[in-house]
Structure 1
Amino acid sequence: MAKLDPRQHRSKESMYDAYLDLLADNEAIISVQQLCTRAGITRPTFYKQYSDLEALRLDIHNNLLSKLKKALTINHPIPMADYEASNALPENMVLLFKHIYQHRYAYEILLVNQPDALFINDVKSIIRQFIIEGIRYSKAQERLVQVDRDFLISYTTGAYTETILWWIKNNYSMTAEEAAGSLFKMALKGPYSS
């Protein structure tokens, strides 16, 4: 992939922001001209980067999703028992919430204000893969899992997704560490104290 010069990079960022702003303004139909006016660029500048608005939309998705995948990549797997013994949090769970917060404007629009089904499904798919890898790396003994593995993966994917939505809708009322800690605690022991 060719590296963008600084002007192209700024133009691309302006287009990302303008597209999200137009969605936030509840624009039912966005035109290239509206986007260019909002971004402060010319139509030829837009068409140097994208064939149409759908290409821009997908580029915004892919940009965010690649960063989400990177945040959730398990680089140093640790068995579940080690987390329980140390009261440490999986680094990736904290990075998940930090990533969401860092890109909160885009997530607020694409997940909550103007939900984009394609984006939501892709986020769920990435979270699902993270959970599958986490189960594999945790070295949890299969005999201790009391439910069907696929059921567990679906349940946990939903829990992560709904927790992210709750966190956004509640204006990030917990820190990334607190949100990750609460989610991890429930994943290990459920919501009740023993």
Structure 2
Amino acid sequence: MKKKKDPRVIRTHQLLRKALIELMEERDLEQITVQEIAERATIKRATFYLHFEDKQALVHQYVDEILTELSESIIVPMNKSSEHFDIHAGKVHPNFLKLFHHITDNYNLFYALLVRNRVAYFVTKLGSVIHDFILSGINWTEPNDTNLTAPREVIIKFVESAFLEVIVWWIENNRPYSEEEIATHLLNLSVLGPYKHIPQRSGGG
């Protein structure tokens, strides 16, 4: 049986996370001290060290929990949620929506760690989640390599890199498109590419 967390520990972690994100929205992580995090969280510095070795440990635990939650939401049930999904119906896959809904729910965290600070640990971990998401999606959509326009690993790297940068842009610009709109745009780009029809430009003299 999973051990239930002490409510006091949960409360302390919530206060520390809120304080961390608030401070990171103001300035770079490297400039923030444990003392400042503790003061913003209205706890003693000694209490901080009862829970975390340093501020990096706080960041890592927070990131791990948020991205594990994201991964379990969009990757694990991919095959099940795709059983009755028609990719040609013009609708966005529900897991694409879950990705952007999760970002909206944790907007301050994503902004602070991905845009305002671009924390390497967060970028790497998020990149790994997106990689697995794209991998499972492409493998479900087209398992036959002969129907792909490039080697599978090249396509996956291309799409996952695009996804990450579009997410950064979407957050940085205060989400100019709704979750459904941006999810639909990315799905269409992933499956169809940027053109509705192949451009027919001819060289001129």
Structure 1 and Structure 2 fold alike (TM over 0.5): yes
Cα distance, 1:142 vs structure 2 = 2.0
* 1:156 is aligned to 2:159: yes
Equivalent in the alignment of 1:35: 37
Cα pair 2:85 2:93 within 8 Å, conserved:
no
Equivalent in the alignment of 1:20: 21
Structure 1 segments unaligned to the other structure (5+ residues): none
Cα pair 1:74 1:92 within 8 Å, conserved:
no
Equivalent in the alignment of 2:126: 123
Q: Identify, as 1 or 2, the structure richer in helix.
A: 1
The partner residue of 1:136 within 109, 117, 139 is 139
Cα distance, 1:73 vs structure 2 = 1.8
Taking the aligned partners of 1:141 and 1:120, their CA distance within structure 2 comes to: 31
Q: Which amino acid aligns with 1:78?
A: S
Deviations 1:12-59 (A, max 9, x none): 111001112222221543222211110011223222221222211111
Number of paired residues? 193
Taking the aligned partners of 1:163 and 1:95, their CA distance within structure 2 comes to: 16
Equivalent in the alignment of 1:102: 105
Taking the aligned partners of 1:99 and 1:81, their CA distance within structure 2 comes to: 21
Q: What TM-score comes out, normalization by structure 1 length?
A: 0.91
Cα distance, 1:175 vs structure 2 = 1.0
Taking the aligned partners of 2:71 and 2:22, their CA distance within structure 1 comes to: 25
Structure 2 segments unaligned to the other structure (5+ residues): 198-205
Equivalent in the alignment of 2:54: 52
Cα distance, 1:79 vs structure 2 = 7.0
Cα pair 2:81 2:94 within 8 Å, conserved:
no
Deviates more, 1:21-30 or 1:57-66: 21-30
Secondary structure, counterpart of 2:132 in structure 1: helix
Secondary structure, counterpart of 1:16 in structure 2: helix
* 1:90 is aligned to 2:78: no
Cα pair 1:69 1:126 within 8 Å, conserved:
yes
CA RMSD of aligned residues (A): 1.9
Distance change >3 Å, CA 30–CA 2, structure 1 → 2: farther
Q: Which runs of 4+ in 1 moved over 3 A?
A: none
Cα distance, 1:129 vs structure 2 = 1.0
Cα distance, 1:89 vs structure 2 = 1.6
Distance change >3 Å, CA 88–CA 48, structure 1 → 2: same
Q: What TM-score comes out, normalization by structure 2 length?
A: 0.86
Q: Which amino acid aligns with 2:6?
A: D
Taking the aligned partners of 1:70 and 1:153, their CA distance within structure 2 comes to: 20
Taking the aligned partners of 1:176 and 1:81, their CA distance within structure 2 comes to: 19
Equivalent in the alignment of 1:4: 5
> Structure 1 vs Structure 2: percent identity of aligned residues?
29
